[in-house]
Chain A
Amino acid sequence: EVQLVESGGVVVQPGGSLRLSCAASGFTFDDYTMHWVRQAPGKGLEWVSLISWDGGSTYYADSVKGRFTISRDNSKNSLYLQMNSLRTEDTALYYCAKGASLLLWGQGTLVTVSS
């Protein structure tokens, strides 16, 4: 089955750090660009970051640039998001998604930034 499964979301204090993971299965992971997209409670979708198939190119939303780092390990079929200097406004459900046009999404992992 083709699927993406996110993990790592927890409650963290402002200023803290967190690493999210996304495990891919059922497709050739290193054929695809991968993304992180987030959705704050009751709000719309916000693109966060993208990484090319080989990890050679990365892009970030201005809201997370300098604080978040996207990476991948193609040998483990896994995508990661290292989140530092977390703010309350980073509270959201974080999704990983596959492909340039985000054709497949995981179910999301919830990150809550609160004191």
Chain B
Amino acid sequence: DIQMTQSPSSLSASVGDRVTITCRASQGISNYLAWFQQKPGKAPKSLIYAASSLQSGVPSKFSGSGSGTDFTLTISSLQPEDFATYYCQQYNSYPITFGGGTKVEIK
């Protein structure tokens, strides 16, 4: 199985900060990488697929990059509505696996 390792597991940031979350796959997954945002009590929401493609309706402050084993999610200017938990997920091979999540909290 492909292990997905996210870092950090949590971070504190201020409104307006640039935030970067990393995700590392235990073996190459090409660009079969997605990012999700989950707020408390809500279902996950797809932000990015194919490592860098923005889902329809997702603001451009979110961006993704990477290929192979190393990936990043960047939020260019953190806003109050962005405080949430973020997950990466590989869909290159089965079983599909998720990272452990990164909780973004208010500093």
Contacts and interface: CB of A to CB of B under 8 A. Distances in A.
A101 B101 CA distance: 17
A47 B43 contact: no
Given A44-B100, A45-B87, A101-B50, A106 B94 contact: no
Interface in B80-100: 87, 89, 91, 94-100
Interface string B39-51: 0000111100110
Contacts, number: 53
Most chain B beta-carbon neighbours within 10 Å: one of A101, A102, A105: A101
Contact of A45 (B46, B49, B89, B94): B89
A35 interface: yes
B43 A103 contact: no
User: Is chain B's interface secondary structure helix, strand, loop, or mixed overall?
Assistant: loop
A108 B43 CA distance: 7
Q: How large is the interface on A (under 10, 10 to 19, 20 to 34, 35 or more residues)?
A: 20 to 34
Interface string A47-67: 100100000000111100000
Contacts of A107: 43
B3 interface: no
Choose among B46, B91, B96 the residue with the greatest number of A CB atoms under 10 Å from its CB. Answer: B96
B43 A101 contact: no
Contact of B46 (A46, A50, A95, A101): A101
Interface of B: 1, 34, 36, 38, 43-46, 49-50, 55, 87, 89, 91, 94-101
18 contacts: A44-B98, A45-B38, A45-B44, A45-B89, A47-B89, A47-B95, A47-B96, A47-B97, A59-B95, A100-B91, A101-B46, A101-B49, A102-B34, A102-B36, A103-B49, A103-B55, A105-B43, A105-B44
Given A35-B96, A61-B95, A101-B34, 10 more contacts: A44-B100, A45-B36, A45-B38, A45-B98, A59-B94, A62-B95, A95-B44, A102-B44, A105-B43, A105-B45
